[in-house]
Amino acid sequence: MASRILAIVALLVLAGCSAFAPPRPLTSEAEALAVHGEPTRRHDNGDGTTTLEYATQPFGYTALMVTVDKAGAVLEQHDALSDKNLANVKPGMTRDEVDRLLGTHRSVQTFRLSGEEVWDWNIYNDGPGVATLFNVHFIDGKVVRTSRTYVYPNDGPFGQPMFGAPYFFYPYAYYAHPFPYRYRWRRSYWPEYPWIW
């Protein structure tokens, strides 16, 4: 009986590892299209190469960038929302440079008093909450800083998630009620969802 339980546990662990394994390396543009479909955007790099962008915003937390040459052979691929690539956002960068570096952002919020325009991306959750947002703060179109927002469940008046929605229905479950939402995004740069209003 104990050996059966150990075998089941081992199978579950192996299944979990395979579920979170990084995407396999691609060899050609045709393979990228077959595996991932049409890209979100195509970027002409000006040197005869093209980068295929596979963004997963607003709910995913990856942005696969696949660079191919004129013949369609893959030269390089990486996740634009990895910690290593996020660290490449530096003060003074323009909106276009950040857009090209990180891929399609999730939302934009402007703050009149600070003069900031804040773009955010949903990234792998590395914090105590249920989701993590990576924020890039612009003033006059240039990066001034970056930050992270940790998203927590927004409990209703009776200590339960709004409308009984489970936590994994992020972001809808957390922002379904306008009053706590309106109060909390001003503190933490949470984006505004216009359909609520």
Q: 39 in a domain, yes or no?
A: yes
Residues 66 and 121 in one domain: no
- Rounded to an integer, the average pLDDT of 174-190 is 37
Q: State pTM to two decimals.
A: 0.68
Residues 71 and 115 in one domain: no
Tokens standing for residue 127 = 């914090």
- Rounded to an integer, the average pLDDT of 189-195 is 42
pLDDT tens track for 132-146:
999 999 999 999 999
CATH of the domain at 170: 3.30.1450.10
- Domain range enclosing 104: 84-196
Residue 142, CA distances (Å) to 103, 117, 130 in order:
17, 10, 30
Number of domains present in the structure of the chain: 2
Please tell me the predicted confidence (pLDDT) of residue 152: 84
Q: 48 in a domain, yes or no?
A: yes
Residue 14, CA distances (Å) to 8, 9, 147 in order:
10, 9, 35
Tokens standing for residue 26 = 């691609």
pLDDT tens track for 46-91:
999 999 999 999 999 999 999 999 999 999 999 999 999 999 999 9
Taking residue 33's Cβ as centre, other Cβ atoms within 10 Å add up to: 15
Please tell me the predicted confidence (pLDDT) of residue 173: 39
Q: 12 in a domain, yes or no?
A: no
